[in-house]
Amino acid sequence: MNIPDLIQKKRDGGEHTRAEIEQLVGGFTRGQVPDYQVSAWLMAVYLRGMTPRETADLTLVMAESGDMMDLSTLKNTVDKHSTGGVGDKTSLILAPMLAALGLTVAKMSGRGLAHTGGTIDKLESIPGWSPELADEPFLQQAREVGMALVGQSKDLAPADGLLYALRDVTATVDCVPLIASSIMSKKLASGAHTVILDVKVGAGAFMKTLDDARTLARAMVDIGKHAGRNVRALLTDMETPLGHMAGNSLEVQEALATLRGEGPADLVELCVLLAQEALMAHGVAEGEARERALGVLRDGSALAKFRAFVAAQGGDPTYVDQPEQLDVAPGRADITAHQDGFVTRVDALSVGKAVLVLGGGRELKGERIDPGVGVELVRKPGEAVQAGDVIARIYHRDGRGLERATELLNAGLILGAQQPDVPPIILDRVN
């Protein structure tokens, strides 16, 4: 079929074969199909959707458009993906937990963009730590330490980068088969057999409602099934940031406290549930999986894995034991309660934007960030406050962005007379 016939087929609600998708998307990636035809096809997909089989084939075509990591020499490989949130330092805790549990995490992670943070940026606040590792040392470290984490290579699913750039300018980003295939193409190309997805729901997340998040999770789990991988998803709350800290060094400090067994309840619970899910994917019963996941936080073995991982990638491990030495910006400004009552809402998007304007995030790819700035949520939803109590603390550098960050937090931290119902961290599970 020629390209106009393929566009027409989707426009009229038809189902593509794998060969047709390869012709369109593979051809586009090789520069043989022009932008304007792919844009028209993307809009047809947006309006007509894709069947689960088509979505899986699109994902495989995108995954196979570049390098496919071969992790077959590693045992029990697990990857984790979060659809992005505020204060989400889960990977820093979960990866060493999984390594301590005998699983292998050989993972590619991203940098932050807009109001969401990225694992690589957080780890780079540890002096010396580097996300650059060639393939062989990466595999060797994963084999020996149980965990290795690198930046995303340019050649990982290049079709995704090219398609995303078109989606961004053709109003076709928010389309479940396109989002699911975009995320999963990178996961399939990254090579892990088991993938645990943390699909965030709420103000600070890509998916604002539970129904939309459920549909996305189902699509991603189905892609995994078609591709012969073991994929499980948890739907988790992102109305409120996770834990108390947002900002790079501050989040590393909180992750380390969690690995020492002193983490905030919501963050600990999420990490334990994700680790539990990974163990269950490897045949461990639920109750035992939970005990084992809690155990590696209690006995220090996850912290030891994190220390070994930092050292293996050039980081100074003394920061793991003395996290107060990390660069935290010296400026402080407090947001205080203007009335007695309860914290009813801490809007994750406002907190994420506040970190961004303080200089802790980037608006455009490639911008430098300040690891030391951020926001501490001293009080979280459901907690009682009295007028004058500190509810949030801003860590700023020489006042940069302070006025705007204060406005954002004043608008995003809501107090009320009634104690609110606080949703559980896990909202649903799809597998």
Q: Which of 57, 79, 121, 160 is catalytic?
A: 160
CA-closest candidate to residue 69, choices 128, 2, 133: 133
**By CB under 6 A, residue 38 contacts ligand URA:** no
Cα(291)–Cα(340) distance, rounded to whole angstroms?
Answer: 40
Q: Annotated catalytic, 35?
A: no
Where would I find the H helices in 125-204? 135-145, 158-168, 176-190
Which window, 29-37, 178-186, 240-248, 407-415, contacts ligand URA (CB under 6 A)?
A: 178-186
> Of 178 and 293, which CB lies nearer to ligand URA in the complex structure?
178
Q: Annotated catalytic, 153?
A: no
Least distance CB 65 / ligand URA (angstroms): 15
**By CB under 6 A, residue 183 contacts ligand URA:** yes
Q: Which of 65, 82, 182, 350 is catalytic?
A: 182
> Of 129 and 206, which CB lies nearer to ligand URA in the complex structure?
206
Q: Annotated catalytic, 182?
A: yes
Q: Which of 111, 186, 307, 396 is catalytic?
A: 186
Sheet holding 374-377, edge to edge: 245-246, 374-377, 390-396, 331-336
**Cβ-closest position to ligand URA:** 182
Q: N- to C-terminal Cα distance for the chain?
A: 36
Least distance CB 358 / ligand URA (angstroms): 24
Footprint (CB under 6 A) of ligand URA, residues 206-265: 206
Residues contacting residue 168 through CB under 8 Å, at least 6 positions apart: none
**By CB under 6 A, residue 320 contacts ligand URA:** no
Cα(419)–Cα(431) distance, rounded to whole angstroms?
Answer: 34
Strand (E) or helix (H) holding 231: strand 230-237
Cα(43)–Cα(59) distance, rounded to whole angstroms?
Answer: 17
**By CB under 6 A, residue 179 contacts ligand URA:** yes
> Of 175 and 234, which CB lies nearer to ligand URA in the complex structure?
175
Q: Annotated catalytic, 186?
A: yes
**By CB under 6 A, residue 182 contacts ligand URA:** yes
Strand 230-237, strand 374-377: pairing: unpaired
**By CB under 6 A, residue 23 contacts ligand URA:** no
Instruction: Name the residue type at position 355.
Output: V
Q: How far is CA 174 from CA 202, 287, 300, 316, in A?
A: 15, 37, 42, 41
Least distance CB 84 / ligand URA (angstroms): 7
> Of 206 and 306, which CB lies nearer to ligand URA in the complex structure?
206
Residue numbers annotated as active site = 81, 160, 167, 182, 186
Residues at the site binding ligand URA, with contacts judged by CB under 6 A: 164, 179, 182-183, 206
